[in-house]
Each structure stands twice: as C-alpha cells, then as structure tokens.
C-alpha cells in the first residue's frame, strides 16, 4: 500500500515537471527588453529664423569739446542735458595770463615797427653819404678807401631794413598767436545738440600740454540714434544691409523698438578668442525715450516661412544607439515562429537599412547608429519615423530653423508622421533555471528521467 502511494506521488511530480517544461525552456531564452520611444508628430506652421545680439545705443554724431589752452576754469554756462547751439559760449577759462601775453606781444610789435623805421632812416643817410663819396671820387678828391666804406655802409643799412622787416613779421605773428590763445579761453559749442557729459567744475585747472582735455561731450541730435551690436562670426553671414531689426531695452521691457541695419563693418573684434562684427542699426528716437549708453537686446529676422512642414530639432539629432539596435534585434530573435516572420522581417529591415550597420544588424566599428555628419550635406538630414512599432529612417532636406523646429523642404514626410526624438531601453534578459523555481537543474549524462 505504501509502495502504491509513493508511485502516485512521483507520478504527480513527473506530470508537474512535464507541464512546466516549456516555461523553463522559454525562460532560458530570456525576456525581450522593451524599448520606450518618445515621438513628436510632424505638423505645419510658421518658421521664423532669427539672430540675436547685444548692442549699445549711441547718438549718430558725438563731439568731445575740449580746451586748446591750459588754465583755470572760470565759469561754466551749461550743464548736463543742456541744449546748445552752434557758436554758443559754454565755458570760460581764466583769461588774465593770456591778456598779459597779448599786451606783451603788442609791445613787441610796436618795437619792431620802430626798429624798422630807424633802419630806413639809417639807410637813407647811408645812401646820401655814398652819393657824396661817389661825386668826390669822380674828381679824385677822396681816397678810394673812403669811397668803399661809404658803399659798404649803404649795403649794410639796406640789409638792416630787411632784418627789421622780418622782426616785424615775427612780432606780428606772436601778436596773432596771443590773440588766438586769448580767444581759446572762451569754449564755444561746435554744433547744435545736447550736453550729455561734463568733466570739469568751476575752479578746476585743465592742462593742454599733450592733449586737449575733454570738458563736455555733446550729442548732435538725440532724435536719431544708432545701435552698435556685436554679432558672432557664425551669424554675420545671415545679415545684410537694409534688413529690419527689433530690440528691447531694460528701461522699457514691455516695448519693442524697430530699426534698420545701416552697415556691417568689416573690422573684427576679438575678445577671449571670440570674433564678433559690428552691425550698425539706425533707430528713430522722435519721442526721446532712448538714451545714449542703454543696452539693447537686438533680434534680426532673416527668414520667415508660413504654413511649412515642420519637424522638431530633437528628431534631427536623434540616432539609433547600439543598445537600442541590440534590443530591436533581440526582440526579433525572441518572436514566435507562428508570427510568420513578420516581426523578424521588420526588425531586420530596420537594422539593415540603418546606416553604419553590418551583417545581422550589428553596428560596424566607428558607426554611431546613423549617418555621420561627414557623409551628409549640411542641409541633408536623417529622421527616424515610428510606424507599427518599428522605426525607419527617412532622408530629408532641411530649411530655415527657429531653434526649436526646422522646415522640411524635401523628403518622404507627411503631416502627422511620428518622428522619434528619444529611445530608452528598459529591463533586460532574465536568467532562467530551466525548470521549476527553486528546483535543481536536470542531471547531465547517464541519469534516466522518470
């Protein structure tokens, strides 16, 4: 009776082992690792391509008014923000020293005139003596030495007249210089405008020995201003003279101002190995809201497309990585034979069509799972479209971009297609024991199964 119960127990164990056998065999193959796809639908809309830069506002013409002479500032007639006219007196240097120099120059000039008159009189006297000696010499009544002396004295008197004339001209020049220096003590506005800066105060001494010290800075007309922007060398080729530009300033954050590019200067500016170019923008400031020195955040719009097919930039950057490709191939190998080879065929098509893959869908050494940048033109891109759970590559020609989405000029993309922006492999193959959980592995070799 006990032998019969033992046989029944072992029979139950054998039936359970037979039933669980296929599960253990499938566990040996491992579970397929799922791939999580993140997609975005291709749509239609507007693409606005722009370049941004930072600049500084300034007046079209800014004049630095200085002093030609050194001295103490005696009086200031204008201050900050004062409107001035051309020829207006705006400051005065103490003129006492220059008036004294002028009086001295006048005295020197008068002395030079007197010396010239004296030389002329002496020359006339020398000429009379020479004529008298000449008459006596004709009659042999004077010695030849006396005649030669009279002749020499006449020549010297005439030369002295020339010297005194030169001295008179020097005195006249010194007199004019003294007058000019005295006139320079009055600081005159050279243009119509507004005083935007004052650098001195009354009583301060300015020195003009090496360079003219700046007293005022005058902006010619604040109703017309300009913005000097620093455009990166990668973006300067997108700008042209005459194109529209907009900018905002911190003083009026809710208002956008308009301008027009006047010129793009060829002089490059290099700061910490960063090369920029100055794009000058003309701005109408009729309401006088803008002030010199304000920082402007400028936007240049160089392309505007309406109702175009758009693809996200993340889809242009996406490439199938090695682990995603391995997961797709593992999924195809783990498919049931009853599927008719459909899953295996789709996965093989992905691995075979993906650039950089070799036999069996394995990526070749050096291939990044997609077309390299060297193999594609700058406007030729590859996007991956998800259809039926299987990705496929699509070649497109890109156009303008706004930094988030890019225009599709050519390619087999349609509105509503799901393009892949990211793929993540989660999970992995799970090792199996080959039988019941917790049961020992089946014996190898000569063990005879029940």
What is the per-residue pLDDT across 210-229, written as a single tens digit (0 to 9) for each? 777 899 999 998 999 999 99
Residue 40 has a CB neighbour count (10 Å cut-off) of 17
What percent of the chain is helix, strand and coil (3-state, nearest 5)? 35, 35, 30
Question: At residue 233, what are phi and psi to the nearest 5 degrees?
Answer: -65, -25
Which one, of 371, 372, 350, lies nearest residue 360 by Cα? Answer: 350
Question: At residue 204, what are phi and psi to the nearest 5 degrees?
Answer: -80, 140
| Angle, helix 322-333 to helix 342-353, in steps of 10 degrees | 160
Which one, of 50, 53, 51, lies nearest residue 297 by Cα? Answer: 53
Average pLDDT over residues 240-259: 94
What is the per-residue pLDDT across 335-391, written as a single tens digit (0 to 9) for each? 544 444 444 444 444 544 444 443 333 333 333 344 444 456 777 899 999 988 889
Q: Is residue 212 classed exposed, middle or buried when 0-12, 13-18 and 19+ CB atoms within 10 A define those classes?
A: middle
* Residue spans of beta strands (DSSP E) within 43-143: 43-59, 62-66, 71-76, 83-84, 89-93
Average pLDDT over residues 402-417: 90
Average pLDDT of the residues of the chain: 81
DSSP reduced 3-state for 291: coil
> What's the pLDDT at 65?
94
Most confident of 1-5, 144-148, 247-251, 363-367: 247-251
Q: Which run of H or E residues covers position 177? A: helix 144-183
Angle ∠(313,315,316) on CA atoms, nearest 5: 65
> What's the pLDDT at 367?
36
User: What's the CA gap between 84 and 189, in Å, rounded?
Assistant: 7
What residues does 198 pair with on adjacent strands?
A: 216
Confirm whether 50-60+221-303 and 62-198 share one CATH topology.
no
> What's the pLDDT at 24?
43
DSSP reduced 3-state for 432: coil
DSSP reduced 3-state for 400: strand
Pick the CATH number of 50-60+221-303 from 1.20.1050.140, 3.30.70.20, 2.40.30.170, 3.40.50.1100: 2.40.30.170
Is 0.75 surpassed by the pTM of this model?
no
CATH architecture of 62-198: Orthogonal Bundle (1.10)
Angle ∠(26,27,30) on CA atoms, nearest 5: 100
User: What's the CA gap between 57 and 64, in Å, rounded?
Assistant: 17
- Domain ranges for the chain: 31-47+310-425, 50-60+221-303, 62-198
Which one, of 190, 185, 158, lies nearest residue 102 by Cα? Answer: 185
Q: Inform me whether the pLDDT recorded for 107 exceeds 70.
A: yes
Q: Which two tokens stand for residue 304?
A: 């505007």
Which one, of 392, 405, 385, 224, lies nearest residue 309 by Cα? Answer: 405
């Amino acid at each position: 009776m006990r032998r019969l119960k033992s046989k029944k127990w072992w029979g139950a164990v054998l039936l359970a082992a037979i039933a669980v056998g296929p599960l253990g065999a499938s566990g040996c193959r491992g579970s397929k690792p799922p791939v999580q796809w993140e997609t975005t639908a291709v749509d239609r809309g507007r693409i606005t391509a722009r370049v941004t830069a930072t600049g500084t506002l300034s007046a079209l013409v800014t004049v630095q008014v200085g002093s030609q002479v050194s001295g103490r500032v005696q009086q200031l007639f204008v201050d900050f923000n004062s409107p001035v006219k051309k020829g207006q007196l705006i400051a005065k240097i103490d003129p006492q020293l220059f008036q004294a120099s002028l009086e001295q120059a006048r005295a020197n000039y008068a002395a030079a005139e007197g010396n010239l008159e004296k030389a002329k009189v002496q020359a006339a006297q020398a000429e009379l003596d020479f004529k008298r000696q000449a008459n006596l010499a004709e009659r042999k009544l004077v010695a030849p030495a006396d005649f030669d002396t009279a002749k020499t004295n006449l020549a010297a008197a005439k030369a002295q007249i020339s010297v005194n004339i030169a001295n008179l001209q020097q005195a006249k020049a010194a007199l004019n210089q003294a007058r000019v220096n005295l006139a320079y003590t009055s600081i005159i506005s050279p243009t119509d405008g507004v005083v935007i800066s004052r650098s001195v105060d009354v009583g301060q001494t300015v020195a003009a020995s090496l360079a003219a010290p700046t007293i005022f800075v005058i902006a010619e007309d604040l109703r017309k201003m300009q913005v000097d922007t620093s455009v990166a060398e990668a973006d300067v080729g997108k700008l042209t003279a005459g194109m529209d530009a907009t900018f905002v300033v911190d003083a009026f954050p809710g208002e956008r101002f308009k301008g027009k590019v006047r010129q793009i200067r060829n002089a490059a500016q290099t700061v910490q190995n960063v090369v920029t170019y100055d794009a000058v923008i003309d701005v109408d400031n009729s309401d006088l809201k803008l002030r010199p020195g304000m920082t402007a955040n400028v936007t240049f719009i160089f392309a505007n497309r309406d109702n175009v097919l758009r693809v996200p930039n993340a889809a242009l950057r996406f490439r199938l990585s090695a682990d995603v490709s391995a997961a797709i191939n593992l999924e195809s190998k783990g498919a049931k034979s009853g599927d008719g080879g459909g899953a295996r065929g789709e996965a093989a098509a992905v691995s075979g069509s993906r650039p950089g893959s070799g036999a069996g869908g394995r990526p070749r050494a050096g291939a990044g799972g997609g077309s390299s940048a060297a193999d594609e033109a700058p406007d030729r891109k590859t996007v991956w479209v998800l259809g039926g759970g299987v990705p496929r590559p699509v070649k497109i020609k890109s156009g303008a971009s706004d930094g988030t989405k890019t225009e599709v000029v050519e390619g087999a993309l349609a509105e509503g297609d799901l393009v892949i922006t990211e793929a993540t492999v989660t999970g992995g193959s799970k090792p199996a024991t080959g039988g019941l959980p917790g049961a020992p592995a089946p014996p190898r070799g000569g063990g005879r199964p029940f």
